[in-house]
């Protein structure tokens, strides 16, 4: 659709001033430093001045200036101001921030005044959602109804469940210099090593003993999409994983799960030039902050970022959400209730490369099925049934949750309860050779 003429419309409705810690969708317009700015890539704003539009020209474009902020009525300054087609992504932003809540929040939610350093400087500068030009998927772009992938111009291709062969890494180096050339070939060598590792570990992950070693923390996979937490489209492999998890969880408790999770985290954070998963679950214990590479995939109605979380509960590992603003740090949904937790794992990954994953979206009446693509690792019920990482919209927010294969809904925790949401989306790897 045609981009509205900002300067023509400013006489009718003024955009809100730019504010830190707000989830801005693409197309949002704000006022900052004597100019209007248009958001080019969806992101959560960082603290001032590092997160301001003037220091993030890859996220914001100045679209006009009149030397001073227009003197509109206060209620007009707080209005939404972005293209009509974007309004379903984000229901409020601007001066309200953490204080403009109009809907009741879940018991796990507490409004807090963000302090400097609330978002790491790297995240504030890069933005949470910064897909390169021509990228094929977005973490924050809702898909229209059906399981889709995206073409190079971000137009949806319906019912294409197979990973797009056109998804490539956008090179940002200047190949005219020797250092850039070295970096380029180094990256290609790393990609080749990753491909070889995926093939080898993919074969190893079919072995019963290797999966048992994973549960005992004697084996940590270097690539994603395999292992006990990854759903296998091959039903023989999936049945083996279900059986092994049911046996292990029946003899162990949450303390044993935390012990194994610690081993995984230590491996992921160890200094090494070897291959490691691009997306991984990292343990967060009571009182700890979220890792700097925690991957935001949703938001509250006021724009506060939400992350995917998983934790042990009743013999299974269940999926939910985490956030800096949540009282205990995270919550999961289970048995009709929302359960708050202070020890959990959070999904982490390269926050400036969201094109490595994609959302497979299901509309009302459609059931979750996996055909030709690989879901990102999730959890397991106590009986071993796979739980997939999902999200859905509720009360002007986008909430991470869980979904079972062949279910027609996702489950999310909200207001102390477990809610069924439709439509819903499942997180998947965009390319089987990039995980």
pLDDT tens readout for residues 275-320: 899 999 999 999 999 998 999 999 999 889 999 999 999 999 999 9
| pLDDT at res. 188 | 62
117 domain residue, yes or no:
no
- Using 50, 70 and 90 to split pLDDT, how confident is the model at 345? very high
| pLDDT at res. 22 | 86
Indicate if 87 and 183 belong to the same structural domain: no
The four Cα atoms 48, 54, 58, 61 give a dihedral, to 10 degrees, of 130
226 domain residue, yes or no:
yes
Sequence-ordered list of residues with C-beta below 8 angstroms from that of 312, at least 6 positions apart, any chain: 253, 254, 257, 258
Mean pLDDT to the nearest integer, 141-148: 34
Indicate if 74 and 204 belong to the same structural domain: no
Indicate if 360 and 234 belong to the same structural domain: yes
85 domain residue, yes or no:
yes
118 domain residue, yes or no:
no
Provide the token pair at 114. Answer: 């963000």
Q: Give CA–CA dist 214/245, Å, rounded.
A: 11
* Chosen domain end from 74, 97, 120: 97
Cα angle 71, 93, 109 (rounded to 5 degrees) comes to 135
- For residues 239 and 231, is the Cβ–Cβ distance under 8 A? no
pLDDT tens readout for residues 72-114: 333 333 333 333 333 333 333 333 332 233 333 444 443 333 3
For residue 30, report the phi and psi dihedrals to the nearest 5 degrees: -135, 170
| pLDDT at res. 82 | 35
pLDDT tens readout for residues 53-75: 988 888 988 876 544 444 433 33
* Chosen domain end from 73, 97, 121: 97
137 domain residue, yes or no:
no
Q: Give CA–CA dist 8/5, Å, rounded.
A: 5
Indicate if 265 and 363 belong to the same structural domain: yes
Q: Please give the residue range of the domain that contains residue 17.
A: 1-97
Indicate if 191 and 93 belong to the same structural domain: no
Share of the chain above pLDDT 90, in %: 46
| pLDDT at res. 30 | 86
Q: Which residue pairs from 169-177 have beta carbons closer than 8 angstroms and sit at least 24 positions apart in sequence?
A: 169/434, 170/132, 170/133, 170/134, 170/135, 170/355, 172/132
Sequence-ordered list of residues with C-beta below 8 angstroms from that of 41, at least 6 positions apart, any chain: 26, 58, 59, 127, 129, 130, 131
* Chosen domain end from 77, 97, 117: 97
How many separate domains does the chain show? 2
Mean pLDDT to the nearest integer, 399-406: 96
319 domain residue, yes or no:
yes
pLDDT over threshold 60, residue 245: yes
| pLDDT at res. 57 | 87
Indicate if 395 and 306 belong to the same structural domain: yes
For residue 236, report the phi and psi dihedrals to the nearest 5 degrees: -65, -45
For residue 54, report the phi and psi dihedrals to the nearest 5 degrees: -65, -25
Indicate if 58 and 189 belong to the same structural domain: no
Share of the chain above pLDDT 70, in %: 68
Indicate if 400 and 295 belong to the same structural domain: yes
Indicate if 269 and 401 belong to the same structural domain: yes
Mean pLDDT to the nearest integer, 360-364: 92
Indicate if 190 and 80 belong to the same structural domain: no
Three-class secondary structure of residue 390 per DSSP? strand
Average pLDDT, the chain: 74
Write the CATH number for 18.
Answer: 2.10.10.20
pLDDT tens readout for residues 19-59: 888 888 888 888 888 888 888 888 888 888 888 998 888 89
105 domain residue, yes or no:
no
Radius of gyration of the chain (CA): 22
**Would the pTM of this model clear 0.75, i.e. be above it?**
no
Indicate if 243 and 346 belong to the same structural domain: yes
Count of residues in the chain = 435
| pLDDT at res. 309 | 97
107 domain residue, yes or no:
no
């Amino acid at each position: 659709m045609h981009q509205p003429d900002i300067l023509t419309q400013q006489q009718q409705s003024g955009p809100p001033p730019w504010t830190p810690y707000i989830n801005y969708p693409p197309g949002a317009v704000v006022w900052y430093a004597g100019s209007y700015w248009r958001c080019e890539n969806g992101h959560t704003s960082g603290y001032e001045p590092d997160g301001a539009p003037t220091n993030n020209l890859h996220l914001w474009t100045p679209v006009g200036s009149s030397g001073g902020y227009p003197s509109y009525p206060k209620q007009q300054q707080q209005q939404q101001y972005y293209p009509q087609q974007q309004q379903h992504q984000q229901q409020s932003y601007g001066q309200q921030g953490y204080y403009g809540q109009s809907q009741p929040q879940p018991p796990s939610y507490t409004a807090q005044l963000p302090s400097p350093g609330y978002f790491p400087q790297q995240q504030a500068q890069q933005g949470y959602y910064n897909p390169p030009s021509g990228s094929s998927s977005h973490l924050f772009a809702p898909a229209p109804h059906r399981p889709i992938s995206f073409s190079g111009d971000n137009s949806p291709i319906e019912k294409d469940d197979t990973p797009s062969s056109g998804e490539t890494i956008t090179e940002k180096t200047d190949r005219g210099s020797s250092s850039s050339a070295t970096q380029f070939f180094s990256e290609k060598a790393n990609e080749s090593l990753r491909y070889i590792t995926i093939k080898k570990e993919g074969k190893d992950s079919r072995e019963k003993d290797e999966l048992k070693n994973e549960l005992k923390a004697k084996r940590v996979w270097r690539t994603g999409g395999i292992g006990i937490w990854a759903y296998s489209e091959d039903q023989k492999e999936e049945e083996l994983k279900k059986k092994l998890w049911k046996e292990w969880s029946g003899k162990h408790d949450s303390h044993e799960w935390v012990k194994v999770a610690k081993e995984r985290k230590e491996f992921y954070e160890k200094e090494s030039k070897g291959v490691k998963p691009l997306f991984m679950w990292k343990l967060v214990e009571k009182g700890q902050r979220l890792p700097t590479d925690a991957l935001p995939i949703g938001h509250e109605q006021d724009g506060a970022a939400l992350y995917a979380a998983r934790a042990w509960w009743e013999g299974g590992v269940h999926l939910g959400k985490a956030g800096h603003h949540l009282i205990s740090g995270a919550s999961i949904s289970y048995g009709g209730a929302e359960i708050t937790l202070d020890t959990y794992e959070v999904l982490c990954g390269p926050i400036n490369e969201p094109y490595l994953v994609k959302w497979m979206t299901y509309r009302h009446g459609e059931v979750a099925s996996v055909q030709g693509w690989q879901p990102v690792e999730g959890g397991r019920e106590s009986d071993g049934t796979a739980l997939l990482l999902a999200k859905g919209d509720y009360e002007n927010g986008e909430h991470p949750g869980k979904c079972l294969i062949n279910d027609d809904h996702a489950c999310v925790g909200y207001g102390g309860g477990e809610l069924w949401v439709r439509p819903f989306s499942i997180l998947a790897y965009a390319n089987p050779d990039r995980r």
